[in-house]
Every structure is written in structure tokens, then in C-alpha cells.
Amino acid sequence: MSSRLGDYIVQHSYRIEAGRDAELLVLLSSIEAWAHDLGVAQFEVWRDVDDATHITEIHSFDSWAHYTRIAQKEPPRSMQTVYSDLDDLIVGGLDAIVTHSWEPRVLIAAS
């Protein structure tokens, strides 16, 4: 089954230090540009309305195989710097990111 988001979605959730939204936006713009260069189907960033420090990124891919091909690519030096800066911005660093993967399912109604 195909979704408007793609057939494989990876969600990253984390908290940033309060008051550092502007820094996060700069880093996320670099991540988004790189994601689109890699052919990611969709890249979205969401902020919790009740807690502005809670951020969720959604990266969607055409397939699980597409995701695995991209995941094997070594980030360029410029992106390594971005992730290093992100490590300083996230409460607990990159190791504190909670990641979930999703694939669409068809629900079959009982007869």
C-alpha cells in the first residue's frame, strides 16, 4: 500500500534547549536540503504545541530499500558539522533522539 507520505517513514523525536529555536531552524534547513538531495520523498518538522522544546522530524522514503541505500551513505563533511552542532543543541545530544520507523498497513474489515 502506498501512502501520500511514502512507503517507509522514519520519525526522530527529541528536545532542544529552550530559546534555541533560531539555531535549530538553521541546522534543519541544511538537513532538509541534504535530505532532498538524497531523494527523500518528504521531510517535515513538527513542534509540540504544549511544549515548544519537543521536536519531531519525519523523513519519508519511497521504500524500505530506498531508506537502507540512503542510510549507508556517509554524510559529507559539511553535514558532519551540522550534526555536531545539533548534538550540542539537543538535550542529551544525538544519543537522546528517539527513532521509530513506520510502514503503511491495510486494514481489512471483518466480514
Phi-psi region of 92 (alpha: psi -120 to 50; beta: other; left: phi over 0): left
Beta-carbon count within 10 A of 95 CB: 7
Q: Supply 60's cell numbers.
A: 519519508
> Which domains occur in the chain, in start order?
8-102 (3.30.70.100)
Angle at 6 between CA 111 and CA 81, to 5 degrees: 145
What span, in angstroms and rounded, lies between the C-alpha atoms of 2 and 31?
A: 25
From first to last of the 111 residues of the chain, give the pLDDT tens digit.
Answer: 556 777 899 999 999 999 999 999 999 999 999 999 999 999 999 999 999 999 999 999 999 999 999 989 888 999 999 999 999 999 999 999 999 999 887 666 655
**Which pLDDT score is estimated for 3?**
65
**Which pLDDT score is estimated for 33?**
95
- Which strand ranges, in their side-by-side order, compose the sheet holding 8-15? 42-47, 54-61, 8-15, 98-102
